[in-house]
Chains A and B, each alone.
Chain A
Amino acid sequence: DGGITQSPKYLFRKEGQNVTLSCEQNLNHDAMYWYRQDPGQGLRLIYYSQIVNDFQKGDIAEGYSVSREKKESFPLTVTSAQKNPTAFYLCASRYRELTREDGYTFGSGTRLTVV
């Protein structure tokens, strides 16, 4: 079955460390997205990519970095410059065609905690 997989489900980071969250999809989707979710604040867009080797900053990109070397993969690195990284991170993907009404497909999320 096609889907979008995030790993790990739980991740602990020490102060000053960089950590990378994985997002892989086998839906043949073109665009991929990273969101951060904090209680009571909904979803905030970190980065997105519409095609391979191209990505754009979202609303809260500072302290994060991404790459899109393959269509299936869009890893997110939380760097030490992100001062408050504890949150639930969600990856999503979709087809690029403008006429599709499918919306986004979401992964099951990674909960990152700073220890």
Chain B
Amino acid sequence: GEDVEQSLFLSVREGDSSVINCTYTDSSSTYLYWYKQEPGAGLQLLTYIFSNMDMKQDQRLTVLLNKKDKHLSLRIADTQTGDSAIYFCAEKGRFQKLVFGTGTRLLVSP
């Protein structure tokens, strides 16, 4: 079955690194995604990783994929208060539908 799990909350100080974790269950997933949702808004695609990659870096964002353990993580370097949001991981499941995690609320304090 398709199930994506995330921890609900993460709190960090400004300037620290944030690491948001995600586990998924569908080993056939080809792409995995990270989305950001600011209050009262829709979801914005942050980055994605193809399943044959271990790591992808994009400016302050680093995505790590451990396919053996079905574990995905998003690291945000030098976290800023503007990074406070809900972060969703998602996998591309059957019929090209995205399956979303429950979201991790990141709170960045000054």
Contacts and interface: CB of A to CB of B under 8 A. Distances in A.
Interface in A39-61: 40-43, 45, 48, 50
Contacts of B96: 31, 50, 94, 96, 98
Interface string A71-114: 00000000000000000001010101010011111111101000
Contact of B42 (A42, A48, A102, A108): A108
Give the interface size bracket for B toward A. 20 to 34
A40 B97 CA distance: 21
A101 B40 contact: no
B50 A101 contact: yes
A8 B37 CA distance: 19
A47 B48 CA distance: 24
Contacts, number: 51
B48 A42 contact: no
Interface in B90-110: 90, 95-98, 100-103
Nearest to A95: B96
Interface in A15-58: 31, 33, 35, 40-43, 45, 48, 50
Interface of A: 6, 31, 33, 35, 40-43, 45, 48, 50, 90, 92, 94, 96, 98, 101-109, 111
Interface of B: 8, 31, 33, 35, 40-45, 48, 50, 88, 90, 95-98, 100-103
14 contacts: A33-B97, A42-B88, A50-B95, A90-B42, A92-B42, A98-B96, A102-B45, A103-B31, A104-B45, A104-B98, A106-B35, A106-B42, A109-B40, A109-B42
